[in-house]
């Protein structure tokens, strides 16, 4: 087909059809992944995860770091990250290996190997809003996981307490040193005053200056001694900047399995594996493969795509070139059918009627533009749609003629497009199948064959009502119309068997698909077609 079947790449409908046509491969891949995942899960040791919450003291309002300077400024955020990094550090984790007896528990030989596995099983999550850390650790049993996470958190708290105590002691020592320095300075100044007083050549100005400085030093000493006493009290009652909210218990531990080893994870991996396998195994393009499958399984003469733009050629002022070329390709295939002077084709939906009316309208327009006289009959009495595309009333129509209430000239209308006529369905009769099987229907078909090159009849689906089979048995050829996204070769095969049971012949399958193009367009034959009363129903009349 000319309509984009040689285009490279896939659309979402192509992926859908690819999965639909190759679903056994996807099912096999999912089964293999599930079996492999179950075996791997059985081999891997079960792990249980325990979690504790460690809260850190507030540090005032958060300072947003700027990027205009290279200097590092401590903020709540980077301090929280530093604390988390300290928990994950090898220095801290190595201190819990021997107390928890991890090498014997995990069956490992050296400390380096144990430390590497411990880093994998420890996870720290930062909560900047609460200025807290969530510390999680996994182990073979709920009891051991709770013991491990408690040991790590206790060691971290001990470190924080040691840091605070060391800082307080350093402050006390610094203040003690400053007090000693002030005392030494005061003694020096007092000694100098004694020397000046006992010397006959002492300076009265120097003596007065020293007295002023001595008074200042004594006030400073009193302040330092007060600070020193306060620092001593604070050092004796220091607290830590980290607080453990609640220790972990074995009953709160949860079973921890890798996400990809859970059932949803394995199914997702299986689907992705199946899709990759299909893309690697499928050497051709999806649309060509679908057409080939339809032709091979159904043995039909025509299988192709019918593009839809949302506006029929009867109403469109212009149309994309590829859209018209798609229907011209279908016209070429229809002209090669082994028929006589008239091709009487029944077009019915597979299940979904979406796009059927637009497709039939576009196909009839292209056939008429090619110089063929075309009559379109809407025989779907229960769901008539074609009259909307031809801007015609649904009454009078086919049912009026078959019931004897109207003459043929009153039910067939000529469209303001050369070579094109339309016959609406008319109102729903109490026995549509009886009308189709009646004598007037046979006379109508015989009469129309002598007047038109193509008779396109739209009928209901073969599985819905009995008159669909009756119409199919009267037609020379039957074509199934279905959206590309809803196409199923198995459903088409079932419909073909139903048609054969009704003594009908399936010769074509048309797949409707949405068409969007930004390329150049060509003018349509008519801007807007308005139906008028017919006159002179014969081949070649315009």
- Hey, is 448 helix, strand or coil? helix
218 and 270 both lie in a single domain: no
The pair of three-digit structure tokens given for residue 336, joined into one six-digit string: 């090669």
269 and 222 both lie in a single domain: no
User: Average per-residue pLDDT in the chain?
Assistant: 81
pLDDT at position 380 over 70: yes
Residue 119 lies in a domain: yes
152 and 184 both lie in a single domain: yes
Report the C-alpha gap between 529 and 389 in whole angstroms.
9
57 and 185 both lie in a single domain: yes
Residue 330 lies in a domain: no
- Render 286-349 in DSSP notation, one character per residue: HHHHHHHHHHHHH--SEEEEEEE-SS-TTT-SEEEHHHHHHHHHHHHHHHTSS--S-EEEEEEE
Average pLDDT rounded to a whole number, residues 429-445 = 92
288 and 161 both lie in a single domain: no
Which of these ranges, 79-93, 162-176, 200-214, has the smallest mean pLDDT?
200-214
For 405, phi then psi, to 5°, come to -85, -20
Residue 542 lies in a domain: no
For 261, phi then psi, to 5°, come to -100, 0
Which of these ranges, 310-314, 423-427, 438-442, has the smallest mean pLDDT?
310-314
110 and 243 both lie in a single domain: yes
79 and 198 both lie in a single domain: yes
Percent of the chain with pLDDT over 90: 29
pLDDT at position 238 over 70: no
Report the C-alpha gap between 480 and 150 in whole angstroms.
70
Residue 327 lies in a domain: no
Which of these ranges, 65-74, 301-310, 511-520, has the smallest mean pLDDT?
65-74
For 400-419, how does the pLDDT look when each residue is reduced to its tens digit (9 = 90+)?
A: 999 999 999 899 999 988 99
Residue 14 lies in a domain: yes
Q: 17 near 487, Cβ under 8 Å? A: yes
**Residue 537: its pLDDT value, please?**
59
For 479-499, how does the pLDDT look when each residue is reduced to its tens digit (9 = 90+)?
A: 999 988 778 888 899 999 999
Residue 328 lies in a domain: no
CA-wise closest residue to 131 among 190, 194, 56: 56
156 and 36 both lie in a single domain: no
263 and 173 both lie in a single domain: no
Flag whether the pTM goes above 0.85. Answer: no
Higher pLDDT, 245 or 10: 245
**Residue 416: its pLDDT value, please?**
85
**Residue 107: its pLDDT value, please?**
85
Q: 181 near 130, Cβ under 8 Å? A: no
Most confident of 141-145, 171-175, 420-424: 420-424
143 and 227 both lie in a single domain: yes
**Widest Cα–Cα separation across the chain:** 156
What CATH code is carried by the domain that includes residue 185?
3.30.1890
CA-wise closest residue to 511 among 312, 352, 317: 352
What CATH code is carried by the domain that includes residue 391?
3.40.50.300
467 and 457 both lie in a single domain: yes
Q: 401 near 412, Cβ under 8 Å? A: no
Higher pLDDT, 519 or 334: 334
Parallel/antiparallel/unpaired status of strands 420-423 and 454-458: unpaired
pLDDT at position 532 over 60: no
274 and 349 both lie in a single domain: no
Number of domains in the chain: 4
Domain that holds residue 9: 1-22+283-299
Q: Give the number of residues written for the chain.
A: 542
The pair of three-digit structure tokens given for residue 142, joined into one six-digit string: 């709920």
Residue 522 lies in a domain: no
Report the C-alpha gap between 202 and 188 in whole angstroms.
17
pLDDT at position 518 over 60: no
The pair of three-digit structure tokens given for residue 260, joined into one six-digit string: 């990809």
- Hey, is 474 helix, strand or coil? helix
Residue 540 lies in a domain: no
Average pLDDT rounded to a whole number, residues 348-376 = 92
């Amino acid at each position: 087909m000319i309509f984009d079947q040689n285009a490279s790449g896939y659309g979402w409908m192509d992926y859908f059809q690819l999965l639909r046509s190759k679903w056994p491969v996807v099912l096999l891949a999912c089964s293999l992944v599930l079996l492999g995942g179950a075996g791997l899960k059985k081999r891997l040791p079960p792990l249980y995860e325990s979690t504790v919450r460690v809260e850190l003291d507030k540090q005032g309002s958060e300072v947003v770091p700027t990027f205009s300077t290279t200097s590092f400024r401590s903020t709540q955020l980077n301090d929280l990250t530093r604390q988390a990094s300290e928990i994950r550090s090898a220095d801290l984790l190595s201190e819990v290996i021997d107390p928890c007896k991890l090498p014997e528990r995990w069956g490992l030989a050296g400390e380096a190997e144990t430390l590497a596995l411990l880093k994998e099983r420890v996870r720290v999550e930062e909560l900047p809003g609460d200025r807290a850390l969530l510390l999680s650790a996994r182990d073979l049993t709920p009891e051991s996981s709770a013991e491990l996470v408690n040991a790590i958190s206790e060691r971290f708290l001990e470190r924080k307490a040691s840091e605070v105590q060391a800082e307080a002691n350093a402050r006390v020592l610094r203040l003690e040193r400053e007090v000693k320095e002030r005392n030494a300075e005061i003694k020096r100044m007092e000694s100098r005053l004694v020397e000046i007083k006992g010397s006959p050549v002492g300076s009265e100005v120097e003596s007065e200056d020293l007295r002023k400085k001595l008074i200042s030093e004594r006030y400073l000493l009193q302040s330092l001694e007060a600070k020193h006493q306060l620092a001593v009290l604070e050092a004796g009652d220091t607290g830590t900047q980290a607080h453990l909210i609640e220790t972990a218990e074995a009953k709160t531990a949860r079973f921890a399995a890798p996400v990809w080893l859970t059932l949803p994870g394995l199914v997702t991996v299986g689907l992705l594996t199946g899709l990759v396998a299909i893309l690697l195994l499928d050497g051709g393009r999806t649309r060509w493969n679908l057409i080939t499958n339809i032709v091979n399984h159904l043995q039909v003469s025509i299988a192709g795509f019918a593009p839809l733009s949302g506006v029929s050629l009867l109403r469109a002022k212009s149309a994309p070139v590829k859209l018209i070329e798609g229907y011209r390709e279908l016209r070429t295939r229809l002209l090669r059918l082994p028929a006589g002077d008239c091709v009487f084709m029944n077009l019915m939906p597979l299940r979904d009627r979406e796009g059927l009316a637009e497709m039939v309208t576009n196909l009839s327009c292209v056939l008429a533009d090619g110089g063929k006289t075309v009559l379109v009959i809407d025989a779907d009495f229960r769901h008539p749609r074609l009259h909307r595309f031809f801007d015609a009333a649904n009454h009078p129509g086919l049912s009026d003629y078959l019931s004897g209430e109207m003459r043929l000239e009153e039910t067939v209308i000529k469209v303001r497009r050369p070579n094109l006529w339309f016959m609406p369905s008319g109102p729903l009769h109490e026995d549509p199948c009886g009308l189709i099987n009646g004598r007037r229907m046979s006379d109508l078909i015989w009469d129309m064959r002598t007047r038109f090159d193509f008779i396109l009849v739209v009928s209901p689906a073969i599985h819905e009502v009995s008159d669909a089979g009756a119409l199919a048995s009267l037609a020379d050829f039957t074509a199934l119309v279905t959206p590309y996204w809803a196409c199923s070769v198995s459903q088409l095969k079932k419909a073909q068997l139903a048609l054969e049971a009704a003594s009908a012949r399936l010769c074509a399958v048309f797949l409707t698909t949405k068409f969007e193009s930004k390329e150049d367009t060509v003018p349509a034959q008519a801007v807007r077609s308005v139906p008028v009363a017919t006159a002179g129903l014969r081949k070649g009349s315009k």
